[in-house]
Amino acid sequence: MPLHKFPVYLRKRLQLREGICSRLPAHFLRSLENTSTPTPVHYQPHGAKFKINPKNGQRERVEDVPIPIYYPPESQKGLWGGEGWILGYRYANNDKTPKEDLCSKFGMDLKRGMLLRLARQDPQLHPDDPERRVAIYDKYKEFVIPEEEAEWVGLTLEEAVEKQRLLEKKDPVPLFKIYVEELVERLQQQALSEPVVVQKRASGK
C-alpha cells in the first residue's frame, strides 16, 4: 500500500490552495467546503441516540444509518430531488431542494440560469406582459444574488478552473495596433507643441 504525505481526505482541500485553484472566487471555494449533511429522503431518522426497549425496559443505543442509494447518470440530467434508485417508495415534490439534496448536475445548471436571469432582470421574460414579468421577479427577489456570483453557481471544480483560466487569458495585441496608437499619440503631441499661425483677413472697403 503506497504511503502519502497527507491523508486522502485532505488532498482536495490542499489542491484548492495551489495553482489556479487558489485564484478561484472566494464564494465558489466556500461552496465547495460546504459539508452539510443531506436531508434524509429515503428513510426516517430516529432523532435520538437512545431508546427504551419495550420488552425489558433497558436503554439501547440506536443509529441513523443512511440507506445506500445509487444515483445513475440519468439523475445528473434531470431534477430527481435527491432521489436515487430504490424500490417501493414515493415522495412529495419540493421546489426548494438544497444543493446537497438535489444531486443533479442538470438541476444546478438550471439553477444557475435562473439566478442569472434574476440578477440581470432579463426583459426577454414575458416581453409582451411587463406586469407579469415584474410580478415574477418580485416573487423570487429573496433568491437574487450578484451576477458575478450567480455565474459560478453549480460549476464543477473542472468547469470553474477552466472558467478562471479563460478569465486570466489575455489575447496578444497585434503590433500594428500598438504602432498606430503610438503614431496617433505622437502626432497629437506634435500638433499641440507647434504654434498656431493665425492669418488676418484684409477687410475690403
Q: With 70 as the cut, is the pLDDT of residue 199 above it? A: no
pLDDT of 89 above 60: no
Amino acid making up residue 54: P
Residue with cell 421574460: 125
Q: Is residue 107 pLDDT above 80, yes or no?
A: yes
Query: Who has greater pLDDT, 205 or 196?
Result: 196
Q: 45 Cβ partners below 8 Å, 6+ apart?
A: 64
Q: Is the pLDDT of residue 23 over 80?
A: yes
Asked if 32 and 100 count as a contact pair (C-beta separation under 8 A), the reply is no
Instruction: Please compute the mean of the pLDDT values over residues 176-201 and round it to a whole number.
Output: 75
Please report which residue ranges of the chain form alpha helices under DSSP H. Answer: 11-15, 26-32, 99-102, 105-120, 130-139, 147-150, 157-168, 175-193
48: pLDDT strictly greater than 60: yes
**Higher per-residue confidence, 14 vs 95:** 14
pTM above 0.85, yes or no: no
For residue 83, give the amino acid letter.
E
Q: pLDDT tens digits for 122-173? A: 888 888 888 998 998 998 888 899 999 999 998 998 999 998 988 888 777 7
What pLDDT score does 90 carry? 55
- Per-residue pLDDT, 124: 86
Whether residue 91 contacts residue 81, with contact meaning beta carbons closer than 8 Å, is answered with yes
